[in-house]
């Protein structure tokens, strides 16, 4: 090994650690800038050393689909009402539409199987005492006449875990507190849309 080569190798031994540090810093800056670019559209994300507008506290920012923001439902006119069973509707996937409806005592609800593989079935403990329950056949229409006042909760049996549920108020909501208590217990059975039923009930 020549003298020049030996000198180069000694210098390289000192330069390698410095080069590693510089590369690490460069990668860190690049990653930070990439993170800023990805998060910037979402909201005011401030990295250390930046001057950013103060973000609003989380408690003051409304959550999309939150129970408190759900609009109240008005009494539906007429004595005949249609509820569609859908794979996709305004309220998301696997829904009844309208999902919440207020009707008068003695009115009839016609459940329409617009999409296949759905049914309508009342839930035990979530209809008025003494009211008749119902269970529709899969992919079939069913009509239900409601003669007892109170709140009725029903579901699509094949898609119950996806919170495919609906709510009907007939006359006065005389059993609302009992239904809300039962809904809180049922929430844990949903694998998605876990707040959907509570949101529906808040619209009464």
Q: What b/e string do you get for 139-154 counting C-beta neighbours within 10 Å, with b at 16 or more?
A: eeebebebebbbbbbb
Q: pLDDT of 93-148, one tens digit each? A: 999 999 999 999 999 999 999 999 999 999 999 999 999 999 999 999 999 999 99
Say if pTM beats, i.e. exceeds, 0.75: no
In this predicted structure, the answer to whether residue 37 has a pLDDT above a threshold of 70 is no
Of 146, 144, 204, nearest to 177 by C-alpha is: 204
Q: pLDDT of 164-203, one tens digit each? A: 999 999 999 999 999 999 999 999 999 999 999 999 999 9
Contacts with 197 (C-beta within 8 Å, 6 or more apart), sequence order: 153, 163, 165, 167, 183, 186, 187, 190
In this predicted structure, the answer to whether residue 22 has a pLDDT above a threshold of 70 is no
Q: Of the spans 11-15, 31-35, 174-178, which averages the highest pLDDT? A: 174-178
Task: Report the alpha-carbon distance of residue 159 to residue 88 in Å, rounded.
Answer: 13
Exposed/middle/buried for residue 48 (C-beta within 10 Å: 0-12, 13-18, 19+): exposed
Q: pLDDT of 59-100, one tens digit each? A: 333 344 445 578 999 999 999 999 999 999 999 999 999 999
């Amino acid at each position: 090994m020549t003298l020049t080569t030996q000198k180069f190798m000694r210098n390289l031994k000192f330069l390698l650690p410095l080069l590693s540090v510089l590369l690490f810093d460069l990668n860190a800056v690049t990653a930070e800038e990439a993170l800023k670019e990805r998060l910037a559209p979402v909201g005011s994300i401030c990295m250390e050393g930046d001057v950013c507008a103060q973000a609003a506290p989380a408690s003051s920012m409304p959550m999309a689909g939150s129970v408190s923001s759900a609009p109240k439902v008005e009494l539906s006119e007429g004595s005949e009402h249609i509820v569609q069973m859908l794979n996709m509707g305004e309220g998301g996937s696997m829904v009844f539409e309208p999902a919440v409806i207020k009707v008068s005592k003695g009115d009839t609800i016609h459940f329409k199987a617009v999409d296949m593989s759905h049914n309508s079935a009342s839930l035990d403990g979530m209809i008025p005492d003494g009211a008749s329950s119902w269970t529709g056949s899969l992919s079939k229409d069913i009509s239900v006449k409601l003669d007892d006042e109170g709140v009725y909760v029903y579901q699509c049996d094949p898609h119950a875990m996806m919170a495919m549920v609906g709510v009907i108020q007939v006359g006065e909501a005389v059993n609302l507190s009992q239904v809300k208590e039962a809904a809180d217990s049922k929430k844990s059975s949903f694998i998605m849309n876990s707040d959907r039923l509570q949101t529906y009930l808040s619209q009464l």
